[in-house]
Amino acid sequence: MTQTFHRMLSATLGIPEKQIEKTLSLLSEGATIPFISRYRKEATGGLNEVQIEAIQIQYDKLNELAKRKETIVHAIEEQGKMTAELQKRLDETWDSATLEDIYLPYKPKRKTRAEIARQRGLEPLATLLMLQREPNPEKRAEAYVKGEVKNVEEAMKGARDIIAEQVNENERARNCIRNAFARQAILTAKVVKGKEEEAAKFRDYFDCSEPLKRCSSHRLLAIRRGEAEGLLKVSLGPDDDECTERLERLFVRSNNACGQQVAQAVQDAYKRLLKPSIETEFAALSKERADDEAIRVFAENLRQLLLASPLGQKRVMGIDPGFRTGCKVVCLDAQGNLLHNENIYPHPPVSKPKEAFAKVQKMLETYKIEAIAIGNGTASRETEEFLKQHTFRQDIQIFVVSEQGASIYSASKIAREEFPDYDVTVRGAVSIARRLMDPLAELVKIDPKSIGVGQYQHDVDQSKLKKSLDQTVESCVNLVGVNLNTASTHLLTYISGLGPQLAQNIVNYRAENGAFTSRKELLKVPRMGNKAFEQCAGFLRIPHAKNPLDNTAVHPESYCIVEQMAKDLGCNVSELIASKELRKNIKPERYLTPTVGMPTLQDILQELEKPGRDPRGPIKVFEFDKNVRTIDDLQVGMELPGIVSNITNFGAFVDIGIKENGLVHLSQLADRYISDPNEVVSIHQHVRVKILNIDLERKRIQLTMKGVNSGN
């Protein structure tokens, strides 16, 4: 079975069997995807995280199918109906739909019309009709008029019910209709009568019809949401007449009275059994594909958001802006610890701008603030303008930060544990400031679904979504690496090989024993075994450690290689890292071993060149157009600066500094043809857009980037 799986995975994924075998072996030993991708390149042939994850997903699917097979085999054997030919077919089948088709005739049924007819002794009559030789079937049916069968018509109807079920359970018939659905199924949506006003947001789908194979994932999910809310009536199906004709060609072999009865049964089978069954199958299949696509887009957006540029360890002032309740201001040190908080009231109705500025200036000086982060919610533009109107005594950078999910965090258990003595407004402002310093470290504390970069996330398979988003967070955290001495429990949880308990144990150990001085010290943490250490060590950094390699992505298992390189060049490791000239003299081929190949050696050399490098780029200051505050300020043809706030398959949403985000449709993103918005834009990218259309009633803004000199 294992070899069969390896062969099938290789054919499906286009990856050699040997690499699949090694990867599955590592996964079964408890190795994580980030660890395998980063530190086991020789074993996997350099497979990346996406390929390793695909192997895992497909392998799990095959295992599920194998378990389903066992259940089916057991059920058929219990009925005493297993044959060598049937067993062979089951053994060779690895397609879920085909497997269920084979099992269908043996599947225990509730009391169907056909089953009732069989119990009334009408199966021989059904067989007679199917032979299609009897010139006068109604005469023969008289013999079956007894007991619960009151007349000839009832006998004929019962026989047709049996034939209809046989047609429904026939593999050729099911594949015939399945092929018709695959080729020509039309998805139709209509508004439910009397619900036009309530369904206004689904106006685009009030009377729409399109081939299922051309229906994009976002349209299908929108239609299905409208259906789930009871606002749209949705159907899915091919050309009924053509399907019936195809089935008749399969089963009707005579033009006599028996043939006519079979034709009637075929029509009933299609309408009552086959079509609803295959429609359900295709509805589920298309929904699954749409889910997968929506989850893929969400995960990619989340990855871009988590890997947004950090300001770094600087002293930051965070402002959660507001009108009536004022602006909550917090001051943090370079490690993100809260030093001070208070309210200022620069805006109406209180309107104390002079007092507010004096307070801000005092806080900037007292806490040696280097940058200001303003949340992008209510009163954000006004607060930014208020600050920029004044001249500070020191050079201060001002950033506007997305506050999506900040309110979720501020009321969460994590926030309460971090700041038990402060209310939600303080916690929210702290989150805004920390997002500027290190978006990744702060955003991992929030449920990804609350961050505002997905679409239809509540409509897709929730377990699949959670798994994908968790893997995305894990991938990002391990790509960047974390400071072992400052990382929160929540951030450490996502490090390869750790999890909630070990993460908490690390934080507890740190609190009791002070900062870690070496990676080796991790082995003193309760429940930290050799396997967990192997998985996590390379992703944990210790700045200013005695061994400089402890602040790099070089794994402790490879320290001996670097030490040998330094020894061969007559220097120590610190000198080797510091000197480009020394590193030029390293001949990596000299350090090849049966387990250490060129991929690992190249990674080591790259890391020595830029130890502990952060893959995220530098942060940039951004400014909205000062003349635009509301949708009423917009005019068609106006060019504006904006920030990409969300990406979907059909385009990108851009924040232009007002409540409503504008949409740049896929066709308006570039002067050339593109199939994926990610070819042109990324989350939080600074762009310039032109206004194409403004729909004030629906609060929709259409934008274009064509012919506009976009920023970066």
pLDDT digits (tens, 9 = 90+) for 198-248: 999 999 999 999 999 999 999 999 999 999 999 999 999 999 999 999 999
pLDDT of residue 213: 94
CATH number at residue 168: 1.10.3500.10
Distance CA 243, CA 180 (A): 7
Residue 451 is classified by DSSP as S
Is residue 466 included in any domain, yes or no? no
Looking at the structure, do residues 588 and 512 belong to the same domain, yes or no? yes
Average pLDDT over residues 69-79: 96
Looking at the structure, do residues 284 and 173 belong to the same domain, yes or no? yes
CA torsion through residues 38, 44, 45, 51, sign:
negative
Looking at the structure, do residues 123 and 237 belong to the same domain, yes or no? yes
Average pLDDT over residues 676-693: 95
Is residue 616 included in any domain, yes or no? no
Question: What is the percent of the chain where pLDDT is above 70?
Answer: 100
Tell me the one-letter amino acid at 602.
Q
End-of-domain residue from the set 73, 106, 139:
106
Assess contact for 445 and 272: CB atoms under 8 A: no
CATH number at residue 696: 2.40.50.140
Q: 């500070």: which residue's tokens?
A: 392
Assess contact for 42 and 595: CB atoms under 8 A: yes
CATH number at residue 73: 1.10.10.650
Is residue 199 included in any domain, yes or no? yes
- In terms of phi and psi (left: phi > 0; alpha: psi -120 to 50; beta: otherwise), the region of 637 is left
End-of-domain residue from the set 106, 127, 162:
106
Is residue 543 included in any domain, yes or no? yes
Tokens at residue 512, please?
Answer: 């009791």
Distance CA 441, CA 336 (A): 10
Is residue 429 included in any domain, yes or no? yes
Looking at the structure, do residues 544 and 648 belong to the same domain, yes or no? no
Assess contact for 680 and 667: CB atoms under 8 A: no
Res 712 pLDDT > 80:
no
Looking at the structure, do residues 372 and 239 belong to the same domain, yes or no? no
Looking at the structure, do residues 151 and 196 belong to the same domain, yes or no? yes
End-of-domain residue from the set 106, 129, 148:
106
Distance CA 654, CA 652 (A): 6
Tell me the one-letter amino acid at 554.
V
pLDDT band for 391, please (50, 70, 90 cuts).
Answer: confident
pLDDT of residue 109: 82
Looking at the structure, do residues 358 and 397 belong to the same domain, yes or no? yes
> Strand 540-541 relative to strand 482-483: parallel, antiparallel, unpaired?
parallel
| Distance set, CA 466 to CA 193, 473, 474, 503 (Å) | 36, 10, 12, 20
Distance CA 395, CA 392 (A): 7
CATH number at residue 330: 3.30.420.140
Q: Could you read off the pLDDT of 145-182 as tens digits, one per residue?
A: 999 999 999 999 999 999 999 999 999 999 999 999 99
| Distance set, CA 550 to CA 377, 482, 484, 547 (Å) | 41, 12, 10, 6
Distance CA 473, CA 709 (A): 33
Tokens at residue 154, please?
Answer: 């009832």
**pTM score of the predicted model:** 0.88
Q: Could you read off the pLDDT of 401-453 as tens digits, one per residue?
A: 999 888 899 999 999 999 999 999 999 999 999 999 999 999 999 988 888 78
Residue 509's Cβ-side half-sphere holds a number of Cα atoms within 13 Å equal to: 19
pLDDT band for 710, please (50, 70, 90 cuts).
Answer: low
Looking at the structure, do residues 135 and 277 belong to the same domain, yes or no? yes
Distance CA 545, CA 36 (A): 26
Res 21 pLDDT > 90:
yes
In the beta sheet, which residues pair with residue 407? none
Is residue 306 included in any domain, yes or no? no
CA 83 from centroid of its chain's CA atoms: 44
Distance CA 35, CA 33 (A): 5
Looking at the structure, do residues 152 and 232 belong to the same domain, yes or no? yes
Assess contact for 285 and 215: CB atoms under 8 A: no
Is residue 459 included in any domain, yes or no? no
Res 106 pLDDT > 70:
yes
Domain count, the chain: 5
Measured CA angle at 691 (ends 689, 692), to 5 deg: 125
Res 709 pLDDT > 90:
no
3-state secondary structure 95-138: CHHHHHHHHHHHCCCCCCHHHHHHHCCCHHHHHHHHHCCCCCHH
Tell me the one-letter amino acid at 422.
Y
Q: Could you read off the pLDDT of 320-374 as tens digits, one per residue?
A: 999 999 999 999 999 999 999 999 999 999 999 999 999 999 999 999 999 999 9
Looking at the structure, do residues 241 and 131 belong to the same domain, yes or no? yes
Tokens at residue 427, please?
Answer: 């916690």
Contacts of 602 (CB under 8 A, 6+ apart): 588
Q: Could you read off the pLDDT of 479-535 as tens digits, one per residue?
A: 999 999 999 999 999 999 999 999 999 999 999 999 999 999 999 999 999 999 999
What per-residue string of b and e applies to 519-539 under the rule 16 or more CB within 10 Å gives b? bebbeebeebeeebbbbbbbb
Domain containing 683 equals 631-704
Distance CA 642, CA 661 (A): 9
Average of per-residue pLDDT values in the chain: 94
CA torsion through residues 666, 669, 674, 680, sign:
negative
Contacts of 614 (CB under 8 A, 6+ apart): 310, 480
Longest dimension (CA), the chain: 108
Q: Could you read off the pLDDT of 589-637 as tens digits, one per residue?
A: 999 999 899 999 999 999 999 887 888 988 998 999 999 999 999 999 9
Average pLDDT over residues 47-69: 96
Distance CA 690, CA 635 (A): 10
Looking at the structure, do residues 126 and 267 belong to the same domain, yes or no? yes
Looking at the structure, do residues 288 and 166 belong to the same domain, yes or no? yes
Is residue 418 included in any domain, yes or no? yes
Q: 């951030």: which residue's tokens?
A: 491
